[in-house]
Every structure is written in C-alpha cells, then in structure tokens.
Structure 1
C-alpha cells in the first residue's frame, strides 16, 4: 500500500529544493552582473566585502568590524553581505558604501568563487550549509585558527571571535547602531511613555528562553511594585497581562524601531538575543538571563560595555539552562537596578 503522505512530503521537498537551487543560480548571475557594473563605476577603488549575513545579534555585535575595515581601506568601496531580513542593521552605517543581499550560503560560495570581490573579510565559521544547496561554505582563516561551532563560545565574545575569523586583529570595541531620523519619527508616533521597562522573552532558540510563567509572574510583580510602564518587544507576545501599564509591541516593530524603543528604556530585561545586543549598542541599562547552551556553560557573547560590566547584570546559574534560572534571582536583580519601589 502506497504511503501517499510520505510521497507528497518527498516531492514537496524536492520541489522546494530544485526551485531554490535554480533561484540561487539566477540570483547569483544577476548579482555578478550588478557587481561588475559597480566595479566599472568605482574605477580604481577596490571592492571590499564584509561577510556576516546572520544572525541579528551577531551582526550587531560585529558592527565595529565595519569601522576597522574603513580604517584599513579609507578610499575603497566597502559593502556588507547580509540576508534580506537584516539589511536594516547595515543600511545606515556611515562607514559602508552599500550592501549586497545574500540569498543563501550556497550563493555566497558562488560569489566568492567568482573572484568579483577584491578584498574579503569573511566572519562566518566553516560548514554552515544551506539546507538545499550542495556547496559547503569554507572559511580558511577561521579554520587556520581552529574556530569551529564546537568551540567558538569558549574563545571569547562574538566580536572578538568573528573579527579574527575575518583575518583582522581581535577587536574589543563597543558596538553601535545607527538610527535614522525617519525611524525616530515613526517610533515617536507610537506615543511610548517615558522611561519604560522593556522586556524581550523569546529568542530564536528555545534553549535560550526562560519560562512564560516566570515572565508573567515578573510582569505582575513589576506592575504592582513600580510605577514604570512596561513594553514587550520581539516577534511574538509572551505576556498575557492586560493591565494599562503593560503594552506589547511584539511583531509590530522593525529592527531599528525595536532598537529605538530599547534606547528609550529605563531598564531592559531579556534573554540572550538580538534585542539584548541592541541594549548593549544603545547604552541601555540591562539585566540579561543566560544559561547553559549546548556544551557552553561559562560564556559571554557581548563586547564593549556589557563585557566590562557597565550597566549590566548577567544572571547565569552555571551548568543549568536558562529555563532553570531561579525567579527570585531575576526579581532581586530588578530591585538592585531600580531601587526602592515608588508606587503610584
């Protein structure tokens, strides 16, 4: 008897695979032509590419690489290769001349093999493949220093590690984000109360998360104890509270709008995630909840202020996942940061 559901899944997968691969080669061809035209336009200037296409937190953390590459190439044309979802993070950087959107790691391999770039600073670790493409992305520089997915968090913070993977000296600078006036105006139209507590509850990986029940308990306590308004950011809403002092903007903001909301915060409370890196880059006081991630126990992804311990409380029950972080630790950290309650 034919298993039609299995048959359907197989051919659905094959359809997505082959259409993706065909789209990859078409996308590569278009980009190659566009980059050739760009090279003619820039004349004798070298075309320099910085490659770190994902994840959000990684790109924010490694922003100082753009400044260092500009220092090394003051007169050259510098672009950042990035996935479409994260274009905002590099679009307004004053040390970049532009960006190129990466369809997938397989397309990245094709672009690098073409020799279209004069200088390459590739921050990716080897062997993070596209689920459909046969190409295996290799970074010889990362391989030479022994940087792998099994040890990268043991080697230092994200900027420290990935700058070396790109062939640069280890960088330890403070990350920055660049918010255009148009984004500030859009965010201003949201009528966000002054000095909110901004929270972020869910990451891209469940191993980084803290239980929803704990978050809801924390928000109920904050509402009953402090006068600060509370705003949730991120992709999806975790908090079920309907109190007037709480407002969820989850799923409603762009990346830079999220960063601008975090910039205005009296305190940011969140798990290890892109918004946590935004808090670091936007000079916002923060409480970050960490925990064991795979085999990584004692790690710190952040450079700059957070690495120096400025305006930051890092909570980590070493050897235990974030989900097991005691609720009382978070409440006590909030009390230390906000001081005595000022009820209204």
Structure 2
C-alpha cells in the first residue's frame, strides 16, 4: 500500500467513526480536561515548572519516546513536574515511571488541541508529533506550524523514533533507551528457568502498516518449526495470526489490555516479530529480540529503535531489502536458534565467548546488529 493510500484509508476510517465520537467531542469543547488544567495551576503555585508531554496514541511511539521524560527531568532538575497526556489504553504503561509525576487522558488529538488553549502560559508543552500527524477521530492536523519533520523524512539519516519525535518537539534527545519501569521490575523478579526448560518465545507478526506485517503463511510455518524445535510460543496482540489455528500456540484472551500483553512479554526468554509496538516494548524490557524489517516507504535501511541494548549482542535484525514476505520461515527459524544459543551463553556469564563466536561467524552477523537475508 502506498503512502497516499494509507493516508486516504486513515482519513476514511476517521470520517466513518466521527458520528459516534461527536457527543464526546462536543462535551470536551464545553468542559475541557479540568484535572490537567488545575494540575498545571497548582504546580505553578507551588513554585514548580509544569512540563506537559503529549503523545496520544500508538504503542511503539509512546514507548520509544518515554526517554524524553527522563531527559527533561535531567535538563530542568527538581523544579520540573512532568505530566504525560495519552489515550486511556496507554496509561498503565506510564504508571510507576519515576520521571513522570502525573498521567492525564485525552482520547484524541482534537480534544488535546481543545484543552491546550486553557493551559497556563507558564506551562512547558512538549508535543511529540510530526507535522503530518492527524487526529484519528477528525483528521485535523495537530501542528499550527512547521517543524520540518514529517512522515516523508522522519526515518531519514538513520533517525530512530525517539530522535525524530524529540527533534520535532524542539527538544532533541540523545540515543537513550525507552523506559517501562513497572514491567522491567516484573521481569527482574521472574524466577530463572531450569536449564532443561523449554524456551518461552513471544511472537507478533502484524502491524498497522501492512508493509511491516509478515504474511500469515510464513508466520504459521515458522511457528510450527519453533514448536517442533521445543519452544513454547505465546502470541501477543489481539489480531490473531497463528493462535487461531488448532495448534499449541498460547494467546491472551481477546480484548486483553495492553498491559497484560506487556506483562506476558516480561516473562519470556525472547521475542520474535515485526517492527511494531511490542518490538519497542521488548527493547525497553531488554528482552532478547529478533526483529524482522523490510522495505518501508521511501526509507532505506531504517532502524527505529534507540538505546544501547537495541544494538547489543542479544538483539538481532533480519532485514529484507524488498518486501518483508521475502524473509522465509527458514531464515527466521535459523536466526531464532542462534539467538537462543547466544542467550544461554550470555546468561552463563560467557559473554566473551559469545562475542568471539559472532566475530568468526560472518556473514551471519553483520556489524553492528543487522543481518540482510533477502534482496528485492
């Protein structure tokens, strides 16, 4: 699907759903988010600086930009009080983050624009949007000015999501890892698996962008091979690709909250999937990961992840220079077995052995983290 068709489809979906959202939009126009407005006033009255970060939707975008909160905390010091504005389904991801003092709910970008006008002028507003971002309810643009960052160039020059969004917000952030402290603590508290236990692997092969999804047939073939190799699989996300079939691939109940899927991800030995929100969660949790990347729009060799562990020894990227469908189940199965073996070496305190193995295993391991396996 071309970019123009993607944008047309998104606008059409917004228009179809708009009649259902009109009552809430009308109510918000009369009664904007009083809790956020009062929080800003009280913060100013206490002698502090209210900092309001806004990224409403998309799991991967929110997780990737959590590092902005920590950066602003360091930049402004103890004087700052930091709030985040997002849709209700993402609130639990930000809970327990020491760099975020409060989380407020706005259902869409249009309602955010309504409340933004009522915030005290002393408030530092950090909008993590590109110039091209539009409201999913109304199709309205968020920005009233141009930052130069749009859907056409945000991955150019090796930019990660964090780099692009923070630059568009006017506060460029260095290459910092995303933060999900609540779930990181859950992962740290898990019991180590016995040596003979089956590897537990989380999988996710669908994306909102069709070009970043792996074909269902490939996904199912890979899962059958992983099961035959002795792995236990759990499929993340509510869009079932492989667990709908009569096979022992586990999944969460339909309609489970995002937090439940991230909690499940925190318990696994590794993650295998496409470039989606759950890949960003694996990055934040430092879960060993195998991410599948293919050609995407006009971007060549894009890599959306930030943080040193995204490029560490337990992070691998299988890249197709053409369609993602050109990555075969055999490619992915072989890379998974290598990743699991690397994880076992690393957990046994033999990181040096692993690095030596990588250095002598070219071209399977192309520095620093990408393995190209298919060409257009």
Measured against the shorter chain, the TM-score band is: 0.7 to 0.9
Aligned residue for 2:117, secondary structure, equals: helix
Cα-to-partner distance string for 1:103-142 (whole Å, 9 max, x where unaligned): 22122222233343611111111242235548531164xx
Moved over 6 A (4+): 11-14, 180-184
Kept in 1, the 8 Å contact 2:51–2:83? The answer is: yes
Contact 1:92 1:180 in 2 (8 A): no
How far apart are residue 300 of structure 1 and its match?
0.5
Matched, 1:41 2:26: no
1:316 equivalent in structure 2:
319
Question: 2-side partners of 1:287 and 1:237: how far apart?
Answer: 19
Alpha-carbon deviation of 1:70? 1.4
Q: SS of 1:179's equivalent?
A: helix
Matched ranges for 1:106-145 at <5 A: 106-116=110-120, 118-130=123-135, 133=138, 135-138=140-143, 140=145, 143-144=146-147
Unaligned runs of 5+ in 2: 1-14, 192-196, 343-376
Q: CA deviation at 1:182?
A: 11
Corresponding position of 1:171: 174
* Structure 1: gaps spanning 5 or more residues: 1-10
| CA deviation string 1:277-326 (max 9, x = no partner) | 111111111111111222223201101145424311211111x2223323
SS at match of 2:38: helix
The 5-angstrom pairing of residues 91-102 of structure 1 reads 91-102=95-106
TM-aligned CA deviation for residue 248 of structure 1: 2.0
- Residues 1:260 and 2:268 are matched in the alignment: no
Q: Distance in 2 between matches of 1:40 and 1:49?
A: 12
The equivalent of 2:107 in structure 1 is 103
CA distance in 1, matches of 2:265, 2:100: 24
1:186-205 mapped onto 2 (5 Å cutoff): 195-205=199-209
Say if 2:282 and 2:289, in contact at 8 Å, map to a contact too: yes
**CA distance in structure 1 between the aligned counterparts of 2:316 and 2:59, rounded to whole angstroms:** 22
1:90 aligns with 2:94: yes
CA–CA distance in structure 2, aligned partners of residues 277 and 132 of structure 1: 25
Contact 1:60/1:278, CA 8 A, preserved across alignment: yes
Q: What's the CA shift string for 1:144-173, capped at 9, x where partnerless?
A: 4x2111110114001111122222233201
Please give the residue correspondences for 1:255-294 in structure 2 after superposition, counting only pairs within 5 Å.
255-294=258-297
| Greater CA drift, 273-282 or 67-76 | 67-76
Distance 1:322 1:23, change over 3 A: farther
In terms of mean alpha carbon deviation, does 54-63 or 124-133 score higher? 124-133
CA distance in 1, matches of 2:260, 2:227: 24
TM-score (norm: length of structure 1): 0.81
Provide the secondary structure at the position in 2 that maps to 1:198: strand
Q: Structure 1 residues 249, 316: CA separation in 2 closer, same or farther (over 3 Å shift)?
A: same
User: In angstroms, what is the RMSD of aligned CA positions?
Assistant: 2.9
| Superimposed CA distance per residue, residues 62-97 of structure 1 (whole angstroms, 9 cap, x where no aligned partner) | 111111111223223210011122112212211111
Distance 2:212 2:227 in 1: 25
